[in-house]
Amino acid sequence: MPTLTEAAILDALRQVQEPELGRDIVTLDMVKGIIIDGTAAAFTIELTTPACPLKDEIEGNTRAALTGIGVTDVTITWGAMVRRAAPRQAEQLLPNVKNIIAVGSGKGGVGKSTVSVNLAVALAQSGAAVGLLDADITGPNIPMMLGVEGQPKASANNKITPLERHGVKCISIQFFVPEGQPIVWRGPLVGGAIQQFLRDVDWGDLDYLVVDLPPGTSDAQLTLAQSVPLGGAVLVTTPQEVALSDVGKALAMFKRLSVPILGLVENMAGFACPHCGELTEIFGRGGGERFCAEHHIDFLGSVPLDVTVRQGGDVGVPAVAQREPGPAARALTSVAGAVAARMSVRAAGAEQQPLLSIS
């Protein structure tokens, strides 16, 4: 048997594709630190996101490729280096935040904040550095749903230090107003608050900043899209026609603002009785998938009605952070993996683009 070499290992691994990106893991520079000991090989595979939903497929194909050239023992160490999905701009806000994900909906009451919180926590659970910006200035719910309270302090560089819970850094206008006090502001004040949260908060180094937008198509959405390069938008709807009609307007707005659409989440997709198991489709069936097919966007998944989601949101324990995750938590974790995968695809394209200047 010929002596095993690093070149032979790399040649074999060129047959292993990163399924989402459609390129091999060697070309993508994902293979690091190869060590050879006889017919044994050890190395690191650096994923494009720690939330990679296809890690098992990559591992299986890697082991098969190396077995084919006589490697008898394969030791894989997993790492992750999240890449920037939007081309970096000169003198931009948040230079240390790699990817900003906007979560929006056409109407209220569809569970947009629930998706935002669980998306952020699930990404953090995977090992990513994550922040969550509550941009719903007049109706902030994120602190309650994330289970974080208190008042942020100033950092060493005289910026606002976000509070942290479940591994997620969080900022919200709720931290700065008395409990129960309404925020009655006109549009310019709402936009100014969002800009301040982008400019004056010490977010540090983040892989993902999730932004929970208010429902509709107004000042908050415009301010965000015009202030920072967005990696993409996640749309949230329920299956019924009135929600789909409104989310269509949100889709058109993001397209007009040249914000990439990562896909759509269908929330409250059905309720399974915990006693008899019968599924009741309270808000209809399949509306989200039909919408995605009609508008040629990705369907990120369906999230069923689950009482543990409401219970967790009321006490600050998101569904994905509960000790015994229910069906909704499993669906939301899957949505987080799908979002991370699509961000990786966008990042692979962005790496080919030059540095942009703001004119």
Sign of torsion over alpha carbons 134, 135, 136, 137: positive
Tokens for 284, please give them: 């209809």
Q: What is the pLDDT of residue 90?
A: 57
- Three-state secondary structure call for residue 216: coil
CB count in 10 Å sphere of residue 83? 17
- What pLDDT band is residue 61 in, cutting at 50, 70 and 90? very high
pLDDT digit string, tens, across residues 321-350: 999 888 899 999 999 999 999 999 988 876
Instruction: Tell me how far apart the 2 most distant CA atoms of the chain are, in Å.
Output: 77
DSSP 2: P
Kind of pairing, strands 279-280 and 168-171? Answer: unpaired
Q: Which pair of tokens denotes residue 98?
A: 């790699």
| Count of positions (residues) in the chain | 359
Please report the pLDDT score of residue 144 as a whole number: 95
User: Where is 268: in which H helix or E strand?
Assistant: strand 261-272
Give me the mean pLDDT over the 264-291 stretch.
Answer: 83
117 CB contacts (<8 Å, ≥6 apart)?
Answer: 132, 142, 145, 146, 212, 313, 318
Percentage of the chain modeled with pLDDT above 90? 74
Q: For each of the domains in the chain, give its residue range(s) and CATH number, in order of start.
A: 6-80 (3.30.300.130), 97-347 (3.40.50.300)
List Cα–Cα distances, 286 to 105, 167, 281, 291, in angstroms: 17, 34, 10, 9
